[in-house]
Amino acid sequence: MEKWVVILMLLLSWRIRESFCAKSEVTYDGRSLIIDGQRKILFAGSIHYPRSTPQMWPNLIAKAKEGGVDVIQTYVFWNLHEPQPGKYDFSGRNDLVGFIKEVKAHGMYVCLRIGPFIESEWTYGGFPFWLHDIPGIVYRTDNEPFKFYMQNFTTKIVNMMKAEGLYASEGGPIILSQIENEYQNIERAFGEAGSPYVQWAAKMAVGLNTGVPWIMCKQTDAPDPVINTCNGMKCGETFTGPNSPNKPALWTENWTSFYQVYGGQPYLRSAEDLAFHVTLFIARNGSYVNYYMYHGGTNFGRTSSAYVITAYYDQAPLDEYGLLRQPKWGHLKQLHTAIKSCSTTLLQGVQRNFSLGQLQEGYVFEEEKGECVAFLINNDREKKVTVQFRNRSYELLPKSISILPDCQNVTFNTANVNTTSNKRIISPKQNFSSVDVWKQFQDVIPSFEDTSVKSDSFLEQMNTTKDETDYLWYIHRFENNLSCSKPTLNVQSAAHVAHAFVNNTYIGGAHGNHDVKNFTLELPVTLHEGTNNLSILSVMVGLPDSGAFLERRFAGLISVQLHCSEEESLNLTNSLWGYKVGLLGEQLQAYKGQNSSGIEWSQLGNIEEQALIWYKTAFDTPEGDDPVVLDLGSMGKGEAWVNGQSIGRYWILFHDSKGNPSQSLYHVPRSFLKDSGNVLVLVEEGGGNPLGISLDTVSVTDLHQNFYKLSFPSSS
């Protein structure tokens, strides 16, 4: 008997493994993607593996699946995976294979957007900065050095996927791959070299023989057999359609919110608006909709692009921490259910469009056997209307679409939200208000003698730092020959922030913003008679992520002058300057919080008068499974680390138009933490008070004060 039980168990195990490893054929026609001969309407959600942690992935993917999502869509992040030429990293949050296997374990598909240019509000658009130093390189055009490295990395990723059997053609979950990214936005800048590059990229990708279709987003001339797709908030209205009658209408980025920059406020896109435009796209023969983002996550470390905050798409259906954002998540789940209930007729029926009024219209899909689906659309934003359809009256809410899976009964209206809204609850767990719990380390203001690199013209910042740090010191020693006792220092910069020190004394700073690329620092200074030392710390808050000729961008100081009057000034721009890359604390790895040679942690000093200070304290992990955050609302600008892992940049002093910081809560994944003795280190550029920091947990509750709990594994 036991023998037969063992055999039966082995057979069941084999059958289960067989079902997960069965090879699938993925093709397409003018209506949809076709998987194993079956047309599909697919809902996808963007979740980027490095913007969360491996411990969070199962929870995020499970919630996406529960929300009616079929496909997880992700970019591939070249600068993470190949930080130096030929040296690869696929560990930890960079474990692309592990992420895709997790998606497969949940029985879902993957759309792999290799790029390898991705933009994505990711520093340098995902390019590793070493590309900048390749002789003769011009990014994203018909340039041989660039094409060599692009093909090399793309081939590396494809071969990895093949080796792990992750393409659907091998029994894996990947049903689509993307090459390039919104290239048509900049193609004109490259003149006649643009089109050959598009042709080359498509041919190169298709030649890798993945066995699944390739796509190009926002590329109306995507060469056959590559599918051109739509990105935006209203692709049901704006998409000009596939460039061939044999290609389906795919929407690769439906923006659930928008990225947020320092000084900006979050973009709040309603569940009703999202549902309206998804439904309209489906009614107009769309068959694939991806939510960008379904979960945005966190720009850990220095990964965000210029001026972009550390939290990413926090207003997505799953918020930064992976908690449900209601009613968005629930409303979209109901929409997915409604559309899937009639997907066979939508994919096989004949579509017909007709008017129901001045601002009203309808779409009907009918099969020969009589099955019928209708979409009744009211484009009037102000008024609800009653329309007649097949001898029945239907009331349509303002700016809404009703779905009738049988052309009679309404099962869903995009403006009728039945999901209860929820809100965040922030629960303080520990404060750090005691001076005794803190230690500090004062970073060094370098002088001209401390520099080994010197130039009589300003060096470009990104090329000098190689994106190893946000910081570059510009240092000059000069004789004071001015007649006035208190001249004005004028600094023009194409970086993001500048802090000025005269003779080791901090005199002030200034910054730009996301929309104005250059800024001016202008401050009165007190000079010594004779020799003076001017040290200017130039700061980048992420590298640019988009636009043509990215390799030519200039950042750093443009000019430095001292003015007594219009008639009397001292131009220091073309003088001899010394340079120092990074802060001393970075070189000594102060962010690890350990005692080492060169670092002497001391008691907290006078907080108000200090700049470039490293702070250190310790804390225990809060009990439970709720996400953990640090409230840094009392700080100024800098970066924070927990147990040596960066949780991202902070910039509290950059307020929005309402006088509030763009972000004050910073996610600390539980996988970063130990049970006790966690080390928190911050580098503060100036203006922050660590005594106001608190350690909190985050939960959500609906507006009736009932906690919303789902039976998902806890995130960490």
Q: What is the pLDDT of residues 298-318, one digit of tens each?
A: 999 999 999 999 999 999 999
User: Which pLDDT does position 567 carry in this prediction?
Assistant: 83
Confidence check: pLDDT of 682 > 50: yes
User: Which pLDDT does position 371 carry in this prediction?
Assistant: 97
User: Which pLDDT does position 224 carry in this prediction?
Assistant: 98
User: Which pLDDT does position 594 carry in this prediction?
Assistant: 82
If DSSP codes are grouped into helix, strand and coil, which group holds residue 500? strand
Catalytic member of 170, 180, 187, 253: 253
Q: Residue 4 — pLDDT band, cuts 50, 70, 90?
A: low
Mean pLDDT in residue range 329-338: 98
Contacts of 276 (CB under 8 A, 6+ apart): 399, 400, 401, 414, 415
Please name which of 363, 259, 242 lies closest in space to residue 305, comparing C-alpha atoms. 259
Whether 182 is a known active-site residue: answer yes
User: Which pLDDT does position 485 carry in this prediction?
Assistant: 82
pLDDT above 70 covers what percent of the chain? 95
Please name which of 144, 39, 61, 149 lies closest in space to residue 110, comparing C-alpha atoms. 61
Name which residue leads in pLDDT, 29 or 567.
29
Confidence check: pLDDT of 659 > 50: yes
| CA-CA-CA-CA dihedral for 239, 243, 248, 251, to nearest 10 | -30
User: Which pLDDT does position 608 carry in this prediction?
Assistant: 77
Name which residue leads in pLDDT, 21 or 665.
665
User: Which pLDDT does position 517 carry in this prediction?
Assistant: 85
Mean pLDDT in residue range 163-170: 98
Q: Which amino acid makes up residue 8?
A: L
Confidence check: pLDDT of 2 > 80: no
Catalytic member of 102, 182, 272, 684: 182
DSSP state of 131: G
Among 48-52, 290-294, 463-467, 701-705, the least confident range? 701-705
Confidence check: pLDDT of 375 > 70: yes
User: Which pLDDT does position 21 carry in this prediction?
Assistant: 64
CA 702 to chain centre: 27
Mean pLDDT in residue range 342-351: 98
User: Which pLDDT does position 605 carry in this prediction?
Assistant: 84
Q: Convert the pLDDT of each residue in 179-235 to its tens digit.
A: 999 999 999 999 999 999 999 999 999 999 999 999 999 999 999 999 999 999 999
Q: Convert the pLDDT of each residue in 210-222 to its tens digit.
A: 999 999 999 999 9
Q: Residue 703 — pLDDT band, cuts 50, 70, 90?
A: confident
Quote the tokens at residue 586.
Answer: 């970075």
Quote the tokens at residue 517.
Answer: 């690329």
User: Which pLDDT does position 134 carry in this prediction?
Assistant: 98
Confidence check: pLDDT of 131 > 60: yes
Distances (CA, A) of 394 to 334, 360, 413, 618, 631: 20, 12, 11, 62, 50
Among 77-91, 224-238, 565-579, the least confident range? 565-579
What is the reported pTM? 0.95
User: Which pLDDT does position 611 carry in this prediction?
Assistant: 92
Do 615 and 690 meet the contact criterion of CB atoms below 8 Å apart?
Answer: yes
Do 649 and 586 meet the contact criterion of CB atoms below 8 Å apart?
Answer: no
Q: Convert the pLDDT of each residue in 618-631 to its tens digit.
A: 999 999 999 999 99
Mean pLDDT in residue range 103-125: 98
Confidence check: pLDDT of 22 > 90: no
Name which residue leads in pLDDT, 596 or 268.
268
Whether 180 is a known active-site residue: answer no
d(CA 248, CA 243): 9
User: Which pLDDT does position 607 carry in this prediction?
Assistant: 81
Residue pointed to by tokens 């000059």: 476
Please name which of 337, 327, 313, 275 lies closest in space to residue 46, comparing C-alpha atoms. 313
Do 525 and 597 meet the contact criterion of CB atoms below 8 Å apart?
Answer: no
Q: Convert the pLDDT of each residue in 431-472 to its tens digit.
A: 999 999 999 999 999 999 999 999 999 999 999 999 999 999
Confidence check: pLDDT of 706 > 70: no
Mean pLDDT, the chain, integer: 94
